[in-house]
């Protein structure tokens, strides 16, 4: 592997669906707000507070511009997890008189699934829709799941493990016809693909800065103000900040960085997508020349920077050890240090072994050609080496159907 190694700095970061590095242009914009302009945006009596408030207003405009909303519809939070909690719990409380039924999907991020399970304990009725082998929901099943007491449909824009994009506009239309609110966790989509809350028909949308080259610890919830006017019950009480929906002193430097990151994404999205998408396609094309390797999820409806590939007859932990020079995530759940296979991949119908032997690659605007060359070489070497050591691979090559073997218990 010496060929590519000379040009690249190891380890190589290809886990951008987990978090992205902060763009240097974003950091530069943030720095003054830690030192010279350190006021509290809620301090209305002096210039320090006014300067901070101006900076927050600018960021609100930049973020609103990226998603096609008005600035007043952006509620700042600590991140997408808090936004998802505020949307789901906030709607459950605010619209309790209209019903208690919430529809979501079994492949949602844990921040949505666990929040739904939390409100279920408080009396909500939850329906989790299934997905097909490509990771997409069935729109007829969504329609059939709606009941007179349904108040919210919460379906993610794009999946964090397989990058699959759900049919958002069709979902929004179904919600609209039924008079039900539609929330989407768009954490992976905003900044990477065009998202327009009005054209898409979205009522509430969660997203965060650190998935789009901004800082960690700051996110937003879009809450629509007209047609329909949406309200959520605050989950954090205090001074009534953020239109009374989310109290707490605003993280001014973080918000400034979020705003700049949004501006850069809007400006560079087309260019970034073309380049990163081409790199991802090359990575995938090369890795699928490996016999018995499979791309997980829909190829047609997905994000440009994510690839999730399974390699049969390769042991998951061995694979992660074999690619230790690559920061990628494995088919084990990224939510903890557990060795449970990914619930998202299992929902697509993959068995435990195949789910374990999957790698998720997340590329970014900073990923280079040389890094992709190295990653291809690294993964190929690891897979071939592990298969050489695998009796199962040998049996498979001998034409033995491993599904039909009855293993002896000792």
Question: Strands 293-295 and 101-105: what pairing?
Answer: unpaired
142 contacts: CB under 8 Å, gap ≥ 6 = 103, 129, 153, 171, 174
What are the DSSP calls for 275-343, one per residue? HHHHHHHHHHHHHTTSTTEEE-S-SSSB-TTEEEEEETT--HHHHHHHTTTEE-EESB-TTSS--PBPH
CA-nearest of 70, 93, 76 to 226 is: 70
Active-site annotation, residues: 334
The arrangement of strands across the sheet holding 219-223 comes to: 74-77, 219-223, 204-208, 181-185, 150-154, 101-105, 125-129
User: If you ran DSSP here, which 8-state letter would residue 46 be given?
Assistant: S
What is the rounded distance in angstroms from the CA atom of residue 214 to the CA atom of residue 385?
38
Tokens encoding 366: 């900073």
Q: For residue 101, what are the β-bridge partners?
A: 125, 150
What is the rounded distance in angstroms from the CA atom of residue 375 to the CA atom of residue 273?
20
Task: Quickly count helices (H) and strands (E) in the chain.
Answer: 14, 13
Rg of the chain taking only CA atoms, in angstroms: 23
CA dihedral over 119, 121, 124, 130, signed as positive or negative: positive
What is the rounded distance in angstroms from the CA atom of residue 80 to the CA atom of residue 64?
16
């Amino acid at each position: 592997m010496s060929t590519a190694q000379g040009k690249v700095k190891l380890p190589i970061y290809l886990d951008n669906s987990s978090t992205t590095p902060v763009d240097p242009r974003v950091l530069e914009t943030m720095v003054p707000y830690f030192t010279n302009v350190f006021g509290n945006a809620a301090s209305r009596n002096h210039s320090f507070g006014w300067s901070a408030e101006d900076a927050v207003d600018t960021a609100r405009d930049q973020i609103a511009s990226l998603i096609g909303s008005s600035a007043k519809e952006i509620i700042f939070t600590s991140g997408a997890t808090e936004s998802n909690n505020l949307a789901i719990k906030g709607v459950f409380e605010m619209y309790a008189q209209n019903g208690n039924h919430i529809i979501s999907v079994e492949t949602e991020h844990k921040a949505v699934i666990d929040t739904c399970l939390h409100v279920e304990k408080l009396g909500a009725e939850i329906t989790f829709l299934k997905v097909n082998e490509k990771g997409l929901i069935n729109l007829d099943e969504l329609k059939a799941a709606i009941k007179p007491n349904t108040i919210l449909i919460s379906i993610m824009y794009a999946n964090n493990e397989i990058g699959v994009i759900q049919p958002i506009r069709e979902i929004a239309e179904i919600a609209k016809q039924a008079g039900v609110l539609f929330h989407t966790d768009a954490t992976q989509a905003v900044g990477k693909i065009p998202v327009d809350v009005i054209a898409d028909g979205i009522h509430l949308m969660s997203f965060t800065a650190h998935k789009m080259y901004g800082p960690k610890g700051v996110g937003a919830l879009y809450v629509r103000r007209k047609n329909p006017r949406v309200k959520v019950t605050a989950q954090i009480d205090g001074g009534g900040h953020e239109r009374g929906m989310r109290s707490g002193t605003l993280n001014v430097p973080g918000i400034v960085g979020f705003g700049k990151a949004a501006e850069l994404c809007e400006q560079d999205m087309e260019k970034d997508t073309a380049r990163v998408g081409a790199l991802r396609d090359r990575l995938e094309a090369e890795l699928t020349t490996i016999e018995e390797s499979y791309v997980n999820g829909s190829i047609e409806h997905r994000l440009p920077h994510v690839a999730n590939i399974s390699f049969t007859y390769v042991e998951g932990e061995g694979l992660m050890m074999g690619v230790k020079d690559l920061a990628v995530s494995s088919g084990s759940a990224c939510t903890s240090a557990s060795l449970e296979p990914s619930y998202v991949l299992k929902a697509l119908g993959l068995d435990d072994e195949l789910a374990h032997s999957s790698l998720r690659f997340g590329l970014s605007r900073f990923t280079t050609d040389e890094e992709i060359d190295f990653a291809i070489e690294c993964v190929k070497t690891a897979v071939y080496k592990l298969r050489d050591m695998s009796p199962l691979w040998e049996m498979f090559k001998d034409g033995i159907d491993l599904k039909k073997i009855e293993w002896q218990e000792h």
